[in-house]
Copies of this chain bind each other. A is one copy, B any other.
């Protein structure tokens, strides 16, 4: 199996995903939020690109959330903090989410045979699902405004590490994948302290979201894998019985 890590959404074309498993990683905070929403009973997640598009989907069956520049969009039911998606209010609802980069990553990877959303919260569960799919993998780091974000890269390293542990052999990696595996292994025992030095984390702390950084660096604390298959709606992957699919 080959695993390529891509530094940001603009570094890849839609057609590069064909016949592969795609994983979108936006640790702070879009994919951590998606995982949290499904773990709290949302029936699905629909990522959309624009604010008007999100607004147009509002109904009694939906819960509309999102951010621009880390802040909640006026009139939306929630921002992009995972803590906004822990209430009973979202149970059974379709969550409509628009964020700066994370949702763009999911929309870009629609031509993959399967799209997963990953963060530290579900890293090992994702690695396990990817091994069971038995296809080449693209780990797409969402990044921040066209820049690489370290926390996303470290999560890619964590997923590679989990996959290699399960397979008990090294994967074929691109150069960025090798770099992220090395970087993750160097800081895996002080992940929170390392992520706190990243530019997104510093920005979130400044805006009063330090508790989000703490929550989002919890490793394997929410083993739910949001997944879509030739469809825009992500639902929880059934982790039992994914082999061979």
Contact = CB atoms under 8 A, between A and B. Distances in A.
Contacts of A179: 148, 150, 153-154, 179-180, 183
A242 interface: no
A216 B185 CA distance: 25
A233 interface: no
A148 B178 CA distance: 11
B182 A199 contact: no
Contacts of A15: none
Copies in the complex: 2
Task: Provide the main secondary structure of the chain A interface.
Answer: helix
A149 interface: yes
Contact of A186 (B148, B186, B198): B186
A197 interface: yes
Given A147-B175, A150-B175, A150-B178, 12 more contacts: A7-B148, A148-B175, A148-B176, A150-B176, A150-B179, A154-B179, A175-B199, A178-B198, A182-B183, A183-B183, A183-B186, A186-B186
